[in-house]
Amino acid sequence: MSNNILYFDDISEDMELPTVKIGPITRQQLVDYASASGDYNPIHYDRSMAKMAGLKGCIVHGMLSMAIVGSYITNWAKGGVLKNYKIKFSGITPEGRTIRLKGKVVKKYVENSENLVEIDVFSKLKDEITTTQGSAVIAFKKKE
């Protein structure tokens, strides 16, 4: 890699993306996200309401989890263009937990003159509970 830009030539299939830890996710982040998104479901910021709903405490918004994973992808793919991004929610992230993000290149190919890379990504909690699983396709420039 040069100049912090990732090029198609720098990437290989089965390449692991660096592991990144985000968190712990705070109540203030949940309140801020509720305000920004308009998702004022109290299970995200009111512990007593979360418990009334059968949860152990407040939980991270699903779309906030998706945004965190999306940022992980775009921070890795500096210089690339995100063409497609899919995510599946497979677990709950409780307030106060740290999210561990990982990824892997599963395919590198050229299609319609675009240099494309497909990656799989996921987020896990410390106890290895997977909270999201996703994939993305990113277009990269070749080195000149």
Alpha carbon distance 81, 74 (integer Å): 8
pLDDT tens per residue, range 111-131 = 999 999 999 999 999 988 999
The enclosing H or E element of 124 equals: strand 114-124
Q: What is the pTM of this model?
A: 0.92
Residues of the chain with pLDDT under 50: 1-2
Region class of 113: left (phi > 0), else alpha (psi between -120 and 50), else beta: left
Q: What is the pLDDT of residue 131?
A: 96
Question: What pLDDT is recorded for position 3?
Answer: 61
**Residue 36 included in any domain:** no
The whole domain housing 127 covers: 8-23+61-140
Instruction: Please give the tally of structural domains in the chain.
Output: 1
- Tell me the pLDDT tens digit for each residue of 37-52: 999 999 999 999 999 9
Q: Is residue 99 one of the residues assigned to a domain?
A: yes
Residue 55 domain flag: no
Contact 102, 124 (CB under 8 A): yes
- Residue 18: give its domain's CATH number: 3.10.129.10
| 37 lies in some domain | no
- Tokens at 130, concatenated: 């997977």
Look at residue 2 in the predicted model and tell me its pLDDT. 44
In a domain, 47, yes or no: no
Cβ atoms < 10 Å from Cβ of 121: 22
Residue 89 lies in a domain: yes
Q: What is the pLDDT of residue 4?
A: 87
Residue 127 confidence (pLDDT) = 84
